[in-house]
Amino acid sequence: MDLSPRHFSRLFRSEVGITPATWVEEARVNAARRLLEQGHEAPKQVAAQCGFADADTLRRAFMRHVGVTPAEYRKRFASPALPAG
């Protein structure tokens, strides 16, 4: 099947309800959420691991999809550190 990018985007949106770009951004934000909950990586590292160009792009996408900054999200939802020993 040979689809143009535009036709693929239309078909994707009709089936999934969002554009492919939005779907990819949501997947990246969800991956960032997991990293922020589980780890202590710097925002720049989280952004790179999740496919964002930089920490600012991550922050803007996070605000769009989650409604808070990555730092605020980490404060609310990060797993507490386990005691050593």
Which CATH number covers residue 56?
1.10.10.60
Mean of per-residue pLDDT scores for the chain: 93
Q: Taking a C-beta distance cutoff of 8 angstroms, is the pair 73, 66 a contact?
A: yes
Residue 32, domain member (yes or no):
yes
Domain limits for position 26 = 13-77
| CB contact at 8 A, 47 and 58 | yes
Cα–Cα distance for residue pair 80/70, rounded to 1 Å: 17
85, part of any domain:
no
pLDDT at position 85 is 52
1 pLDDT tier (thresholds 50, 70, 90) = confident
In this predicted model, what pLDDT tens digit does every residue of 16-55 receive, in sequence order?
Answer: 999 999 999 999 999 999 999 998 899 999 999 999 999 9
Return d(Cα 79, Cα 33) in angstroms, integer: 12
**The two structure tokens encoding residue 73:** 């999200």
Q: How many domains does the chain have?
A: 1
